[in-house]
Amino acid sequence: MSQAEDIASLTSCWAKEGRTPRIAIVGAGLSGIGAVIALRKAGYTDLTVYEKADKIGGTWRDNRYPGLSCDVPSYWYSYSFAPNPDWSHRFSYGPEIFRYIEGVAKEFDVMSVVNLNSPVTEMTYLGPKWRLKAEGHEEQIFDFLISATGILHHPNYPDIKGIDSFKGAMFHTARWDDSVSLEGKRVGIIGTGSTSAQIVGAVTKKVKKMSVFQRTPHWIAPLPQKKYSFIWKKILRVCPWMHPHLSNFYKRHMLNTFAKATIGDVKEQRKIEQACLKTLAKDVTDPALRVKLTPSYKATCKRLIFCSDFYPAISRDNAELVTEGITCIEPEGIRTEDGRLHELDVLILATGFKVSEFMLPAKVYGENNLELSEVWDGAPRAHRAMTIPNFPNFWMLEGPTGPVGNLSLISITETQLAYMIKCLDQMKAEKAASIAVKQETFDAFNKAIAEEVVGTTWATGGCDSWYIDKTGTPNLYPWHPSIFYNEMQQPDFSEYQLSQESVSST
Ligand code: NA7
C-alpha cells in the first residue's frame, strides 16, 4: 500500500470502522516484547515493532559485561505468562536472561512483527493518527504509538579532560568490547555503581592490577545467591502452579523490605544499613579501606547494590580503591588530584546512563506541534508513568515517575500493559478516535508526586543519584509500589479525554 493510500484508509477512527488499530511499538526490549504478546492476546493484532539495534533484548542485549546479573529474584523477574522452571539461580545472570527473552520472543512469534536496525527518528501527531519515520523505512501511519524504549540505554560518557587522548582500550560498560582481553592487564574502572561492583567482582582475580576510581562509596548488600538444583527444577516442571506463588513470594518480600526503606521506613532502612555494614566489616579487613568504602548518606538513597563479590575483590593485593578526584585522562592513564598517574592498559567507563531521555533523541511532535523534548526540558514527567497531555494515543511503558529501583520492571510493564489495554477497550466501546490524559489530571498527579517525593530517602538521604532530574527532585514513584499496583488495576476514565473528533492538529 502506498503512503497516500495508507493515510486515506486510516482517516477515520478505527473504533468506528470496527477494525483493529494499527499500533507501532518503539523498542523490542522486555517491555516491547511484552506489549506484542499482551496486545495480541487482547485481540489487537495489527502491530509493528521498530528496534534500533540488530537484536532484540534491550538492556540485556546491550549489557554483556563479565559478572552481569540481575538484582531482582528470577521468579519475579519473569513474564507471568512465561514462567521458567529452568532458572539456574535465584538471581539470574545476564546471558541466561537474554536467552530467556529470545526464547519468549520465539515461542510467541514476536519476531514476525519486529523490524531490526530501525531507529525511529520522528513521530508526529496528525490527529488522530501518528506519522512515524524510522531509518530504512517509508513513513508509516499508525492509530496508536507505544514507546517501550526503557530508561537505561543511553550511556553516560564522563566529561573528563583528555578522555580522548587515552591510548589503551576504552569502552563504556554497555558497549563492552569483547575483542579486548583483560587477562594480565592494568585495568582502570571509573564509577562504583552496581555495574562496576559486578565487573570488579568478576574480573579482578584475572587482571594484573585493578584500579577502581570511586567518587562516592555506595551501599552494598550481600546478594543472597542460590543455585537451583536439578530436582527443584524438575519439581517446578511438573507443578507449574507453583510459579505464581514463587513470584508473589519474592514480590511481597521486596515490597515489604526494600520498598519500605526507600519511602522512609526507618526500621527497614536500619536493617539494610546493618546488613551492609556487617558485610563490609566481614569482607574488608583493612580499616583504612573500610573507611573509604563507608557511605556517609542513607542506604537506598542511591539504588542499593546487591553484590557479594565486590568487597573481597577490592581487598585483593592487586586491587586499589582510588578516592582522589580525577584531574584528567592522559595517553598513559588517569591523573588524580594528588598528582599521581595511574598507568592503565584498559579503561572501563562504568559511569551509568543518561536517564532523562527515554525515546529521545527521536523527535516527538504532539498537538499544536509541541515537541516532547521541549515539553520535558530535562525533567520528564508522565501521568502514571505512561501518558502526557497533548500527546493523544501516545503511551509509554516504564515512563518517567514510575516505580523503579530494585523492583521487577517486567511486573511493572505487565501492569501498565493491562491498564493500557483497558483504555484501548474503552476507546473501542466509545468509538473514540483519541485518548489523552487531561492537563488538570496530569498537573494534579505531578503535584502530588512532587509533594510526596521530598519525604522519600531518595530526596532526604543526603546523596546525589541518577534518580534526581534537572529540577533537583527524584524522578520516581514516591508511594509504596503496592499503591501503584492497586491504582493500576482499573483506569479512572474521568482522568482522560476520549474524543470522537478526528481533528488534525498540524
Ligand atoms: P550508576 O549507578 O549510575 O553508577 C555510575 C557510577 O559512575 C557512580 O559511581 C558515579 O559516581 C560514577 N560516575 C559517573 N560519572 C562520573 C565521573 N564523571 N567521574 C567519576 N565517577 C563518575 O550506573 P550503573 O551502570 O552502575 O548502574 C545503573 C543501573 O543499571 C543500576 O541502578 C541498575 O539498575 C542497573 P557517583 O555515585 O555519582 O558519585
193 lines ligand 1 (CB under 6 A): yes
> Which tens digits make up the pLDDT trace of 40-61?
999 999 999 999 999 999 999 9
CB neighbours (10 Å) of residue 379? 14
Residue 355: the pLDDT is 78
Specify the amino acid at residue 415: T
Q: Which residue has the higher pLDDT, 395 or 12?
A: 395
pLDDT over 70, % of the chain: 97
Residue 398 lies inside a defined structural domain of this protein: yes
> Which tens digits make up the pLDDT trace of 264-295?
788 888 999 999 999 999 999 999 999 999 99
First CA to last CA distance, the chain: 24
467 lines ligand 1 (CB under 6 A): no
Decide which of 301, 325, 349 is a domain's last residue. Answer: 349
158 lines ligand 1 (CB under 6 A): yes
- 352 alpha carbon to ligand 1 midpoint, in Å? 4
351 lines ligand 1 (CB under 6 A): yes
Residue 73 lies inside a defined structural domain of this protein: yes
Residue 76 lies inside a defined structural domain of this protein: yes
Q: Residue 6: which pLDDT band, with cuts at 50, 70 and 90? A: low
Q: Are residues 342 and 405 in the same domain?
A: no
Cell matching residue 136: 530504512
Q: Are residues 306 and 289 in the same domain?
A: yes
**Would the pLDDT of 152 be above 60?**
yes
191 lines ligand 1 (CB under 6 A): yes
> Which tens digits make up the pLDDT trace of 155-210?
999 999 999 999 999 999 999 999 999 999 999 999 999 999 999 999 999 999 99
Q: Are residues 337 and 480 in the same domain?
A: no
Q: Residue 3: which pLDDT band, with cuts at 50, 70 and 90? A: low
Residue 487 lies inside a defined structural domain of this protein: yes
Residue 42 lies inside a defined structural domain of this protein: yes
Q: Phi and psi dihedrals of 255, rounded to 5?
A: -70, -35
Mutation to probe ligand 1, out of 91, 92, 160, 195 (largest number of atoms < 8 A from CB): 195
Cell matching residue 464: 546525589
Q: Are residues 289 and 406 in the same domain?
A: no
Spatial separation of the C-alpha atoms in residues 482 and 208, rounded to whole Å: 47
Q: Please, what is the angle between helix 30-41 and helix 94-107, to 10°?
A: 30
Residue 272: the pLDDT is 93
CA distances from 460 to 300, 305, 317, 454 (A): 11, 19, 37, 7
Q: Residue 502: which pLDDT band, with cuts at 50, 70 and 90? A: low
Which of 1-15, 85-99, 133-147, 423-437 shows the lowest mean pLDDT across its residues?
A: 1-15
**Would the pLDDT of 222 be above 50?**
yes
What domain count does the chain have? 2
DSSP character string of 212-249? EE-SS---EE-----BPPHHHHHHHHH-TTHHHHHHHH
- At a CB cut-off of 8 Å and minimum separation 6, what does 429 contact? none
Burial class (CB in 10 A: 0-12, 13-18, 19+), 168: middle
Spatial separation of the C-alpha atoms in residues 304 and 408, rounded to whole Å: 14
Strands (E), 112-222: 114-115, 120-125, 130-134, 140-142, 144-147, 169-172, 186-190, 209-213, 220-221
Residue 331 lies inside a defined structural domain of this protein: yes
Q: Residue 68: which pLDDT band, with cuts at 50, 70 and 90? A: very high
Q: Are residues 343 and 395 in the same domain?
A: no
> Which tens digits make up the pLDDT trace of 437-467?
999 999 999 999 999 988 888 888 888 888 8
Q: Are residues 323 and 467 in the same domain?
A: no
Q: Are residues 328 and 361 in the same domain?
A: no
Q: Are residues 184 and 125 in the same domain?
A: no
**Would the pLDDT of 505 be above 50?**
no
Residue 471: the pLDDT is 86
Decide which of 349, 371, 393 is a domain's last residue. Answer: 349
Instruction: State the number of CA atoms in the 13 A half-sphere of 287 facing the CB.
Output: 0
Range of the domain at 106: 3-154+354-499
194 lines ligand 1 (CB under 6 A): yes
Q: Which residue has the higher pLDDT, 506 or 244?
A: 244
> Which tens digits make up the pLDDT trace of 75-104?
999 999 999 999 999 999 999 999 999 999
Spatial separation of the C-alpha atoms in residues 228 and 231, rounded to whole Å: 8
216 lines ligand 1 (CB under 6 A): yes
409 lines ligand 1 (CB under 6 A): no
Any idea what DSSP says for residue 470?
A: T
User: Counting atoms of ligand 1 from 1, which one is nearest the CA of 405?
Assistant: 34
- 312 alpha carbon to ligand 1 midpoint, in Å? 20
Q: Mean pLDDT, to the nearest integer, of 256-262?
A: 83
User: Counting atoms of ligand 1 from 1, which one is nearest the CA of 196?
Assistant: 26
- 172 alpha carbon to ligand 1 midpoint, in Å? 11
- 195 alpha carbon to ligand 1 midpoint, in Å? 8
Residue 5: the pLDDT is 53
**Would the pLDDT of 427 be above 90?**
yes
466 lines ligand 1 (CB under 6 A): yes
| Listed residue (308, 339, 345, 168) closest to 225, CA to CA | 308
59 lines ligand 1 (CB under 6 A): no
**Would the pLDDT of 390 be above 90?**
yes
Q: Are residues 335 and 450 in the same domain?
A: no
Residue 4: the pLDDT is 47
Q: Are residues 98 and 226 in the same domain?
A: no
Q: Mean pLDDT, to the nearest integer, of 364-387?
A: 94
Residue 245 lies inside a defined structural domain of this protein: no
402 lines ligand 1 (CB under 6 A): no
User: Counting atoms of ligand 1 from 1, which one is nearest the CA of 195?
Assistant: 26
Residue 55: the pLDDT is 97
CB neighbours (10 Å) of residue 369? 11
Residue 467: the pLDDT is 85
Average pLDDT score over the chain: 93
What CATH number is attached to the domain comprising 415?
3.50.50.60
Residue 503: the pLDDT is 47
Q: Which residue has the higher pLDDT, 402 or 147?
A: 147
The DSSP H or E segment spanning 460 is: helix 457-460
Q: Are residues 422 and 332 in the same domain?
A: no
Decide which of 349, 371, 392 is a domain's last residue. Answer: 349
Q: Are residues 126 and 50 in the same domain?
A: yes
CA 117 to chain centre: 21
> What pTM was estimated for this model as a whole?
0.93
Residue 246 lies inside a defined structural domain of this protein: no
